[in-house]
Structure 1
Amino acid sequence: MAPAGESYRNVVKQAMRPRQERILFLTVIATHIILSCSMMSLRAFFHLWTLIGSLIVVGLVLLPQLLERRHRLIHSPEPYKALQSFTRLGHYAELGRMPYVWFQMAQTGGAAAGFIVLYAGLRTHMTKWNTELAPSIYIASHKAYYVNETLLIAVYIGAWTGALFAWSELVSTPTACWNVPAFDPETVISPESLRNRTMKNLLSRIERVWWIVPSSFLPLTTYVLLRNLFWSAIIRVVGVDTAVRPYLVPSFRVGFRPMHIGIVVLVPVLMIVTLFTVTNTLFDVYWTHPLRILATSQAKDPNMTLIAGLHDPHPFFSAHAYCELARIAMYDKTRRKMLFDDVQRQHGRPIAWNAIAKVCEQKISQLLVNQEGTKVTNESSRMSTVDSKTNTEGSLQAIAPQSTAHKANVTNVWTALAQPASISSSGDANPKSVTSGASVPAPAPGSGPSLYRLLRIAQYVAGALLRRVYAMIPNDAKHALVPQTIQCAFTACVPEIVLDTELLATRATVCWAALALEHFVDASLTEDKYGSVQRDISKIIQTLLRAHQRLQHTKQHVERAATEADHALIREARVIRGALQQVDADASTFSTSYAPYFHQFQTSWLRRYAMLDTALSHSAQQIVHTFAPYGIEM
């Protein structure tokens, strides 16, 4: 299988070369359009330096990012570990502890800062230094050139924007899909052109990152507040009358206008977000769009090449193989017949159908195979009141039974503050309960305490003090201090995070495997002249039904978790409405039918996973319906 597998990878890489060239070409076109629009002149579209600047920006800023993503896509077969917490607060905390996240933020922030420098240089050259982003400005009172403070602020805000864009991408993408973008099963079921897919994904991505542009005023505000303190510290190090001072510290004899600087910097910030959004969208769409690999390749043995791709351990190459298999099963009668007729057993060569059926059954059987050990935290149950605490914890423990050690370790201030007073006050009698059920970790043997141990000890001590103070607060005042809405926003189990982490990385391959089995089995009635398919029909049906049952089981538990989170919000709304009605105040703004978590679950399921549910159930039903007249035993 090794030579065939390597041949399959080479076929995929060869088929992707035209798309990579198209990605690069479209990136250059998009960069040229964006740079020309930023010049506010129609002549800029036809100016030679605009084209040269576009090529420089692509070559120094965007192309390295594309190559780095390509390297991770092809040479990183192992996905990242799944998140251990499915609350929003836990999700952010786990991402903040990953070195990869900080590396990506630093890399993207550096690329954005480099783009600001290149854009400022291009604009300075084209406007003959008559621009607010010029590298230096002449100060008549000093009779010397000083570094431009506006450019320094633009570079600083550009780095912030790039880092924030990387964070937004990582937050909205499950860790299992960081190396390999999520494939879309609809691309085979309802074929769509690359242009339409690109525009659709571009619009959805714009909705996800538009908030980054107004957030650029946050670092500007921070700079305005700390400007004097910051430059005073720099001048103490550099000196007042040194030779390097004009190159490092701006002149303060120039008027400082924060609003004007914000408007000037807003244009390159908008360009950064647009360029990065277009580049990432082109990469995701073009690399995950179906490839007609075997129809255009010159492989000597296309059947074994396809089977080797199905067995490929790399998720990217195997996903394209399953996509090609589903396309053949649904639309390509000639290739389908070739697979049915391939029954030779020479030199260890397997029968094509047997190998396909086996690998597809294994792929479907791996769907949610560890569902009983899913680590959906029971933090949303802790948000409930004392009356409903037992029912809520019981429903969420059915989703994710956790070990005692894991429960002791997964604690934070929000979950502890959300506990009822009876539980929190019980810690007064037992000193160990004050430390959140997990004692302060003993320092490991070594030469003195490290900074990490000191921070951990400080975290536990601060948490214990907060819990002790919170236990002394009356219950009526707790609603005012920590409203249930805030608790739910941070500590509730988010259905979208749960579904994406568990299903998004494998939904396309499982869906394609189910569709391939269904159409191969249906076509076997007229095309399988050797009868290779009949002996596997019962096993295929059972595999599909078991996978669909596990999928439904997960859906029900996530739905129950979302419902419990909504019930906590509704209970608080009823309490507030009752209190307002007692004082004859308007209580109509607090609705008791608000269900944000169930709506989020329903939206996420219908948009991404209803097709997988339909594929599994419909494939099993279709096979049973087709072979029912022939007495196939289950």
Structure 2
Amino acid sequence: MNSGSSITQRSGATQILRNPVSAPKVVKVMGTAGTAYEAMSKKVLGRRLVRVFSLTLGATFLVFSFQLFVTGGFHFTPSFRGAIKNLFSSAAVFVLAVLPTIVIRKTLISYPESTSNSLSTRVRALFSSPSTHATVLVFVACGVIQSLISAMISSGANLGLLASTSRHPFHLNERLIIFLLSNASLGVTYAFRELWMETSLPVWPHDILPIQGLISKSLTSVPSALGFPIIHSFVFSAIYLSVRRSVWRFFLSWFGVFTRPYIANFLRSSHRSIDTGLFVKITVLELATVAGWEIGKAILRVYMVQPMMISQNSASPIKCLLAGLASTSPYFKHFAQFEIAHCAVTSTQRRLDVYSDMSSPTTFWNEVWRAEMVLLGRSYQALLNRGLTASAFSSMYPSGPSNQSTSPDLHGASVIHPQHNNAIFLQPKKHVYDSLASSQTDLPPSPSPAPRRALPSQSSAPSKVPAIFTSGLSEQAPSQSQPAPQRATQSSKSIGDRAVEVLARIWWVVWEGMPRDFKTAAEIRLSPVRRMLVRLKVRGTVRRCLKTRQLDVLAIQALSALTAASLTEDPYGQVQRDIPRTLEAFTSYLSALEIFVEQLQLSSQVSGAWAEEADETMKVIQEEVEPLIDAHREGIRQILETFREHLSAFKFPPKSLE
């Protein structure tokens, strides 16, 4: 099938870079066909990390110099001695107070995103994670170190270690203690804030853009983060003044023999703990501390997710990318997946390398196609099981014989874009194209396809859909004849679950008895909290069911681009043999996604009495699910429009034409 049809250009949210001006620079990394993709990627990331360190060091010098200037540190003079002192002080702050935070953020990039769908499970997972303990410890240590360096080089600030008296020559300086405690408290709250908001998760770009523009855009978030240290300085000062006398009295009463020579004067009425000057220094210190941390985070987030084109430096680029797809780390797998999608869209030579390989029974196309199908198949199975493991799903939904078809029908109304005023009986499709291109989808109780066993792919026959995509579906979603999860026996519920149910019922009865004006005012005040809880619930559900949604988008883009281009570039026609299976996989996955979206919408409309629940549910769907749905629709459209005149020559599975 070689005709003059051209590849249909993509549009919208699923578009991959086609602008040759923004093409990435070639990374000079030498490698052979056997070189592991991860090893090559780590070399590139190591060089990027050096750039992050150098840029953050320069920014730290400016921020710390401004802090010293405002708080009355050594005065800036054109003398060589003053410049050297400022340079060494800034370098010490960077190495001891900023660099460790960059390193800990780098380790958090590869951590999986949270799938908790309730506040209690989210808090419990946050406090029980080993990464939380390490992160909090690092930020507290960095905050204390930066406050120590600032106190050491500040002149006229009365921040020395001792406030000696004739009676107590080794009496501690409470101002220094407050100065250190403020930044230690800042480190604790800042670390938990960052972990809760998951700011260390990679934000993968959809395009390849100049690095300078990305850094400038990322740094725009720094000023908005500076409100946090200002609020913290006020809150910390108020709390310290409130509990100060009680805390020091406790130490003197219980450990008086050991502590009196060092803190005896803290309780004197004439002793002032926090004055205006110290409060200003605390505020400026916290501003400088957070600014350094935020700048390092902004630069790191750009460099650590910037796409890299490294396979072209290997002896066998396709094998190098296949090694990247086989990586157990989703972080490195994303780089390889992006490069495959980018090359499939923009590089004719790389596509020809895939099409022209006939050196072995397992060709490059078969390997690429199977790797992408395995990825999509696992995601599809996880979506059908709603994120549960096979054993857990089997216990909830026992498999059994059923005469009803479990394949998703593709004739109903679309969930994302509902069609109004549809006829009760749809007109039969007159053409294969009309049947496959139909975006209308019925919503049956179960989205599971009928079981099918896949055969090993061979060069002489069309490649089969991997077994992980089409078989082993005994753990299927519940149908009308199967028990629903909420019908489990009461004995399986824990005491905590029963207590929560009882409290919820009591609260609802009390709430219904409240005056109408009180309920209206309470709804307005509690609206942000409700939105946060609903967003946490829906986002956790989506993440649990679609853990690799971003990788799936790139896989669909790569397969659709390679399939569409094969009409004019595939000399052996091996890609066209897999078009029916590819479209079957896309339509099955798309149907399951639309059913999943409808279930999310129905749950928000039925379970909640608040209007915000439906709004927040739709926002999460638009952010997390719709890019994947759009990628499926765009991939199907691209293939169908390219092969529209030739679809009658294909033999499609009956399920794909329903």
Does the pair score TM above 0.5?
Answer: yes
Specify which structure has the higher proportion of helix. 1
Deviation of 1:154 after TM superposition, in Å, equals 2.5
Letter in 2 for 1:568: A
CA separation of 1:490 and 1:185: change in aligned 2, threshold 3 A: closer
Report the equivalent of 2:334.
Answer: 319
Shift of 1:321: 0.5
Deviation at 1:204, TM superposition (A): 5.0
- Find the counterpart in structure 2 of residue 364 from structure 1: 376
SS class of match (1:367):
helix
**Structure 2 residue corresponding to 1:520, chosen from 562, 565, 572:** 562
C-alpha distance in structure 1 between counterparts of 2:104 and 2:238, whole Å:
33
Taking CA–CA contacts closer than 8 Å with sequence separation of 6 or more, which of the two structures ends up with the larger relative contact order? Answer: 2
SS in structure 2 at match of 1:501: helix
Q: Quick one: distance in 2 between partners of 1:273 and 1:227? A: 26
Q: 1:154 maps to what in 2?
A: 179
The alpha-carbon deviation at position 216 of structure 1 amounts to 3.9
Cα-Cα RMSD: 3.8
Deviations 1:57-99, CA, capped at 9 Å, x for gaps = 22223323333444565xx7xx55854x513454334423444
CA contact under 8 A between 2:114 and 2:540: conserved in structure 1? no
State the distance in 2 between where 1:420 and 1:243 align: 51
Distance apart, 1:182 and its partner CA:
3.2
In the superposition, the TM-score normalised over structure 1's length comes to 0.71
CA contact (8 A) 1:414 1:491 kept: no
Partner of 1:333: 348
Aligned runs of 1:171-186 on 2, under 5 Å? 171-173=196-198, 181-186=201-206
Q: In 1, Cα distance between the equivalents of 2:498 and 2:151?
A: 45
1:419 aligns with 2:505: yes
What runs of 5+ residues in structure 1 fail to find an aligned partner? 377-393, 425-470, 570-594
**Cα distance per residue 1:324-363 (max 9 Å; x no partner):** 1111111122222222222212xxx841111111111121
Say yes or no: does 1:43 pair with 2:76. Answer: yes
Question: Paired residue for 2:295, among 278, 282, 291?
Answer: 278
Contact 2:222–2:291 under 8 Å retained in 1: no
Secondary structure of 2:271's partner? coil
- In the alignment, is residue 57 of structure 1 matched against residue 93 of structure 2? yes
Q: Is 1:131 matched up with 2:143?
A: no
Q: Which residue of 2 aligns with 1:560?
A: 602
Q: How does 1:48-127 map to 2 (within 5 A)?
A: 48-71=84-107, 80=112, 83=115, 85-121=116-152, 123-124=153-154, 127=155
Shift of 1:319: 0.9
CA shift at 1:418, angstroms? 3.0
Judging changes above 3 Å, is the alpha-carbon distance between structure 1 residues 542 and 265 closer, same or farther for their aligned structure 2 residues?
same
Alpha-carbon contact 1:235-1:249 (below 8 Å) kept: no
CA contact (8 A) 2:535 2:620 kept: no
Contact 1:162 1:272 in 2 (8 A): no
Give the direction of change, closer, same or farther, for the CA distance of 1:248–1:371 in structure 2 (3 Å limit). farther
Aligned residue runs from structure 1 range 166-315, under 5 A? 166-173=191-198, 181-187=201-207, 191-203=208-220, 207=224, 210-211=227-228, 213-236=230-253, 239=256, 245-246=261-262, 252=268, 254-257=271-274, 260-295=277-312, 297=313, 299-315=314-330
* 8 Å contact kept, 1:66–1:283: yes
Instruction: State whether residues 265 and 271 of structure 2, in contact with CA within 8 Å, keep that contact through their aligned partners in structure 1.
Output: no
Residue deviations 1:227-261, cap 9 Å, x none?
11211232345546x79934898685532335554
Q: Specify the SS of the correspondent of 1:532.
A: coil
**Which letter does structure 2 place at the counterpart of 1:502?**
R
Q: What is the one-letter code of the residue matched to 1:186?
A: H
Amino acid at match of 2:596: T
- Residue type matched to 1:371 in 2? L
CA distance in 1, matches of 2:523, 2:543: 26
Find out whether 1:615 has 2:613 as its counterpart. no
CA distance in 1, matches of 2:500, 2:299: 40
Q: Which has the larger displacement, 482-491 or 619-628?
A: 482-491
1:192 is paired with a residue whose SS is: coil
Q: 1:200 to 1:505 in 2, by over 3 A?
A: farther
Tell me how many residue pairs correspond in the alignment: 513
Within the candidate set 493, 510, 513, 1:476 is matched to 513
The residue correspondences of 1:344-423 to structure 2 (distance < 5 A) are 344-345=359-360, 350-367=362-379, 369-374=381-386, 401=485, 407-408=493-494, 411=497, 416-419=502-505
Indicate the residue corresponding to 2:473 in structure 1.
Answer: none
In 1: Cα distance, 2:248 partner to 2:233 partner = 21
SS at match of 1:374: coil
Sequence identity percentage = 20
Q: Point out the more displaced range, 27-36 or 142-151.
A: 142-151
- SS of 1:411's partner is helix
Structure 2, gaps ≥5 residues long: 1-31, 389-444, 446-476, 653-658
From the superposition, tell whether residues 308 and 410 of structure 1 become closer, same or farther in structure 2 (CA, over 3 Å): farther
- The Cα of 1:28 is off from its aligned counterpart by 0.3
The corresponding residue for 2:46 is 17
Q: Distance in 2 between matches of 1:366 and 1:339?
A: 24
Alpha-carbon distance change, 137 to 510 in structure 1, aligned in 2, over 3 angstroms: same
Q: 1:496 to 1:142 in 2, by over 3 A?
A: farther
TM-score by length of 2: 0.68
Structure 1 position 15, deviation (Å): 2.0
